[in-house]
Homo-oligomer: A and B are copies of this chain.
């Protein structure tokens, strides 16, 4: 009975917020495919709510850019064409290098620790031969990079970019690459940050993104209409 405030403020998420999160995840992982139309009536029934809250949720996704609304014709999951993917990776470079610079400038040692842990998790997955876990750990590394910069805005902007990145990876499954190379690239980014080498960090991020982009382009070229 001596603790001043044993409970914390309760904060229940709104219905629209709950729905938004689930829809975003479904989009990320391809359960709602690029180009697919979202039926309000069907989705509302699935969520067990009326169409009102469903519309509220989809408006959030519209603003986020993951869904586009065509008045009177419906809502469609965003599709990412070549130009979009290129722009996506360019935007990721901008955000991730800014985060890296911020970490270096502010000498955030705990960020280096977290980044090392992140690429070690990738190493573990690579040794297990678990490509899905490796892919998740790869994305997680990038999330750690930006989250570690401590900038709410960079973090927020990056989250949408990562949703889009996952959409690409989901749609273009099977883009194989050498796991050890994958791990090495991330180690290179983390160690450049650890040694306060901003130029090296930028170069490492850029070449990593370019490599990913090349792979995505080749994958699209090799499998015509490989999108779902």
The residues of B that contact A152 with a CB separation of less than 8 Å are 84, 87
| Distance (whole angstroms) from the CB of A51 to the closest CB of chain B | 10
Which of under 10, 10 to 19, 20 to 34, or 35 or more describes the interface residues of A?
35 or more
Contact across chains for B151 and A87 when beta carbons are under 8 A apart? yes
Hey, which chain B residues are within 8 Å of A91, CB to CB? Answer: 98, 151, 153-154, 157
Any chain B CB within 8 A of the CB of A95? yes
B-contacting 9-mer, from A58-66, A167-175, A176-184? A58-66
Q: Which residues of B contact A65 (CB under 8 A)?
A: 156
Copies of this chain? 2
Interface centre among A52, A62, A102, A156 (most CB of B within 10 A): A62
Residues of B within 8 Å of A57, CB to CB, are 59
Q: Is the CB of A71 within 8 A of B153?
A: no
| A52 nearest in chain B by CB position | B52
CA distance A71 to B71 in the complex (A): 28
Contact flags (1/0) for A67-107 with B, using CB distance below 8 Å?
00101000000000000100110110111011000100000
Chain A positions within 8 Å of B, measured between CB atoms, are 12-14, 16-17, 20, 52, 55-57, 59-65, 69, 71, 84, 87-88, 90-91, 93-95, 97-98, 102, 151-154, 156-157, 161
User: Can you sample 14 A-B contacts with CB below 8 Å?
Assistant: A12-B71, A14-B69, A20-B63, A55-B56, A56-B56, A57-B59, A59-B60, A60-B63, A63-B64, A91-B98, A94-B154, A97-B98, A153-B161, A157-B157
